[in-house]
Structure 1
């Protein structure tokens, strides 16, 4: 089940869109957007807070706190209900289209009476948008692409949504008497960036108690399939969950089979066939006699077929089977190997927690040996950064670091903004004072491919840019990535000694696993970072690790698995490249 925080976050985000459509009050809409983000990232469960506790949440005042209380008490907010009545459901759906947004959805509704996605597509094909102010042929193309993105996402959800739900169900089923093993399978176990449905596997000698417990779960809104060893439910959010119960003797073969991917499984079965064997979810059998050979563990199944165990994130038929057969399967990155986080934010800009709170969590909950604070630079005007503020923070970081008897070595950094011409916020002399600089694109997403590529390459060539942040700027299902020549950027990263970030925010996971594979071929080094804006979000680094695994990254590829001394040498080597000879 979703945390109450996430439920309130979604409600207030919807309300912000409704305000934009019905009143055009950008300031008020922005207030609810900020409140939604604060509530979603807040550590404490809002359902357990009193009015004073609610008003302690950043960006939550008395009026918003009252609405939270109303929702928690009644399951609805009258102001939101009233706003919904003023906007057709189809228009609300338009706001979800990437590249459109509430303001333009309102224009389309009021001017062209477009009130659904099919009506919008029809209007575009009829050329009716071209005469509207603020639209045009290129806008039509972008909106159509946004519709495609939204439709492609379909009912797929982000990893945290599927993961939290699956974790709750695994915990519930593991408590049923007779449970030998219970684990997540399917695309969630492979850490795909979005999940269409959740697969749960149980090992037990009797399946009936698990079928009964599963279909009676509080998360189940509907039972869509029910059988002796397999059942399916649909949750209130619409996500399908399937449960399969197998005998403990078949556990390994079943876990391999139900983890997939389909292409990986087909290839493994073909290998079995060539050896006179038959592989199914029940085990690995001799094809002639039908005798079961191995099945209890995945490791034994793979071993009998002449391969080491293949980590689930690699099982996509992208060469992992051949690598396993030839003894060159990588030992992919694990979360325990991360020694630090190189991209995080505090409430000095758009974070929700103080510097002290973020550092305490990095030390106590994550055990990092180094930790970078990288608040936004001044070119991102909405964050209101100044030279004075960042220098005051630097002193605060130094004092806090000196006071820590145990804990991470603190690095004072910043997230720079890559300007349209490839420049960054501060001059070289000022940048030299930072321990670490991340640089990212935050605006002007519509530049052409050549200009955008030059822009990013120039940023990589800056000796003070150590990490290239969230490369494509995509937001999964909401905003497409920028148009670049990735191989030219990867070559620049390798040439200049700039690490490429794997951004762990689950709606980014940018760069993707496919791009990681390409970048790795250029010899690029990577930084797996949380880009956390709250204490809770620090834990999101596990999603970046999963993406890194899918991209075949090892600890050697990732600079924040290195010792602090080696990391600092990497940073200093980049700076030396930009110094004049002599």
Structure 2
């Protein structure tokens, strides 16, 4: 069942969209978006909070608090239903198309009666949009590309959505009498960036109680198939979940098999064949006698194949088999290795938690250092000023030393302008401990201009980290077009780190780019880009992505002791 906070977040975001579609107050729409982020980042179950506690959440005033209470009391919000009734559901879906905003969606509906994505695609192909103001050939091309992006994800969901669902199911099934082991497998265990369906594996002598508990979960919308060994359901959100129950003695072989990937499993089965063995989800067997060789643990299965145990995040047939055979697998970076977070936000700009709340949560994670990097002034919507930034710096200096051993760093997320310049002159930038620089605009520049833009940012002596380097938003915005090899060379030459951004809709750099950049000698920073206290814990998604890119602790600057990190942040002058 969806977390109450997630339900409210979805509701508030939808209302913000509805306001935008109907031409409502833009300020009000942004207020609902901010409240939605705050609710999502709230640790408390909002369904248990009263009006006073709700209004204590940043961005939640009396009106929104009243609506939240109404939702949990009545199961609906009258004001939302009233606006909803005026707009076809298909129009709301239109604004999910990358590049198509609410105003254009409303215009398409009002002028042409378009109320679905398919109708819009057909209208573009029939050139019915050509008479509308603001809809030229280039706009049509962009919309069609946006539709393709949206369709590419199909029924796939972001990593965090699948992970939250899987962890809830695993916790429930683990408590069933007779369940000996339970975990998730498949692409989720490998930390793929999007998930098509969720695989759950359980071990038990009798599968019936576990299968029954699975079928009766509150989140089940449809039981697709049900048997003794496998049951498949579709959740109320449309995601398929497959549960397999195996004997405990087959646990290791089953976990290896159902984790995949398919390409990795083909390689391991080939090794088994050459050794006159047969590998399946039930174990490793001698071909001639049919006798079981090993099956209880993954480590035993890999060892009998002549391989070191391979971390799930590496199982993509990208050289891990050969490395395991030579016992040369990297010691991958883990969440425990991280000593700090170098890209975070507060409610001074677009975060939803106070400075003190973010610091308290970071300290609870055991960090040795922590950087606050609110947005710089060229991102005008954040209304940053020199005075606000200096006041925050002074406050951080006051608080340094008051959160146990955690040292506080004052930073900023700069904007890389179209020509490669960043906010603030050099003398002001000198005062920061760390500067992240990111592209937030002009995403459609030519390959040459975008490459030059990013390289210039790397060459700035005050820029330490390039944030979310390709700017992609999974399923919503393509990566920028840049010569990444040139960017990676510039990073290695200038001592500029590349970020592995942990937000589930970014995961930027992606794993293939990390592997490529590492070949150039680039260093990386795994950051949360947190805008709420809850986002701070999402850094695990960045760690999983970094592992898929074969990163070790030495590759990641925020695993280093503070003295070594500070030396890196001084950034030696670029060499020719």
5+ unaligned residues in a row in structure 2: which ranges? Answer: none
Distance in 2 (CA, whole Å) between partners of 1:435 and 1:161 is 34
Q: Deviations over 1:91-138 (max 9, x none)?
A: 111111111121111122222322211121112222333443222222
2:559 to 561, 574, 577: 561
Q: Which moved more, 1:187-196 or 1:477-486?
A: 477-486
Partner of 1:248: 248
Shift of the alpha carbon at 1:578? 6.0
Partner of 2:371: 372
Partner of 1:271: 271
Sort the Cα spacing of 1:327 and 1:144 in 2 relative to 1 into closer, same or farther, 3 A.
same
Shift of the alpha carbon at 1:518? 1.2
Say which SS state the counterpart of residue 150 (structure 1) adopts.
helix
Tell whether 2:279 aligns with 1:282. Answer: no
Shift of the alpha carbon at 1:458? 0.5
Shift of the alpha carbon at 1:154? 1.5
Distance in 1 (CA, whole Å) between partners of 2:231 and 2:430 is 60
Distance in 2 (CA, whole Å) between partners of 1:103 and 1:287 is 66
Partner of 1:78: 78
Q: Deviations over 1:445-504 (max 9, x none)?
A: 122221111111111110000000011112212222222121111111111110000000
Residues 107-186 of structure 1 mapped to structure 2, 5 A cutoff: 107-186=107-186
Say which SS state the counterpart of residue 223 (structure 1) adopts.
strand
Distance in 2 (CA, whole Å) between partners of 1:27 and 1:399 is 34
Say which SS state the counterpart of residue 200 (structure 2) adopts.
strand
Sort the Cα spacing of 1:402 and 1:215 in 2 relative to 1 into closer, same or farther, 3 A.
closer
Q: Deviations over 1:8-42 (max 9, x none)?
A: 11111111111111234322222222221221122
Shift of the alpha carbon at 1:541? 0.3
Distance in 2 (CA, whole Å) between partners of 1:532 and 1:282 is 42
Divergent runs of 4+, >3 A = none
Q: Deviations over 1:339-380 (max 9, x none)?
A: 11001111111112222221111112x101111111111111
Contact 2:15 2:80 in 1 (8 A): yes
Sort the Cα spacing of 1:132 and 1:447 in 2 relative to 1 into closer, same or farther, 3 A.
farther
Partner of 2:46: 46
Contact 1:24 1:103 in 2 (8 A): no
Q: Deviations over 1:282-306 (max 9, x none)?
A: 0001111111101110011011111
Tell whether 2:348 aligns with 1:352. Answer: no
Partner of 1:479: 477
Sort the Cα spacing of 1:485 and 1:127 in 2 relative to 1 into closer, same or farther, 3 A.
farther
Contact 1:283 1:294 in 2 (8 A): yes
Distance in 2 (CA, whole Å) between partners of 1:86 and 1:241 is 35
Say which SS state the counterpart of residue 289 (structure 2) adopts.
coil
Tell whether 2:451 aligns with 1:422. Answer: no
Say which SS state the counterpart of residue 441 (structure 2) adopts.
coil
Say which SS state the counterpart of residue 565 (structure 2) adopts.
helix
Q: Which moved more, 1:503-512 or 1:159-168?
A: 159-168
Say which SS state the counterpart of residue 538 (structure 2) adopts.
helix
Partner of 1:382: 381
Distance in 1 (CA, whole Å) between partners of 2:26 and 2:164 is 33
Partner of 2:396: 397
Partner of 1:571: 569
Say which SS state the counterpart of residue 327 (structure 1) adopts.
coil
What TM-score does the superposition give when structure 1 sets the normalisation length?
Answer: 0.97
Contact 1:2 1:161 in 2 (8 A): no
Residues 527-546 of structure 1 mapped to structure 2, 5 A cutoff: 527-546=525-544
Distance in 2 (CA, whole Å) between partners of 1:266 and 1:440 is 40
Tell whether 2:430 aligns with 1:455. Answer: no
Distance in 1 (CA, whole Å) between partners of 2:352 and 2:360 is 14
Contact 1:503 1:510 in 2 (8 A): yes
Distance in 2 (CA, whole Å) between partners of 1:335 and 1:571 is 22
Contact 1:42 1:352 in 2 (8 A): no
Q: Which moved more, 1:496-505 or 1:236-245?
A: 236-245
2:489 to 488, 491, 503: 491
Shift of the alpha carbon at 1:577? 0.6
Distance in 1 (CA, whole Å) between partners of 2:78 and 2:494 is 56
Contact 1:202 1:245 in 2 (8 A): yes
Distance in 2 (CA, whole Å) between partners of 1:180 and 1:402 is 46
Tell whether 2:426 aligns with 1:412. Answer: no
Say which SS state the counterpart of residue 545 (structure 2) adopts.
helix
Residues 495-510 of structure 1 mapped to structure 2, 5 A cutoff: 495-510=493-508
Distance in 2 (CA, whole Å) between partners of 1:61 and 1:160 is 28
Distance in 2 (CA, whole Å) between partners of 1:105 and 1:318 is 43
Contact 1:313 1:546 in 2 (8 A): yes
What TM-score does the superposition give when structure 2 sets the normalisation length?
Answer: 0.98
Distance in 1 (CA, whole Å) between partners of 2:63 and 2:539 is 34
Q: Which moved more, 1:288-297 or 1:163-172?
A: 163-172
Q: Which moved more, 1:123-132 or 1:351-360?
A: 123-132
RMSD: 1.5
Distance in 1 (CA, whole Å) between partners of 2:133 and 2:481 is 25
Say which SS state the counterpart of residue 133 (structure 2) adopts.
coil
Say which SS state the counterpart of residue 577 (structure 1) adopts.
coil
Tell whether 2:419 aligns with 1:443. Answer: no
Distance in 1 (CA, whole Å) between partners of 2:139 and 2:23 is 24
Distance in 2 (CA, whole Å) between partners of 1:261 and 1:14 is 36
Partner of 2:330: 330
Contact 2:23 2:103 in 1 (8 A): no
Contact 2:226 2:232 in 1 (8 A): yes
Shift of the alpha carbon at 1:162? 1.3
Shift of the alpha carbon at 1:568? 0.7
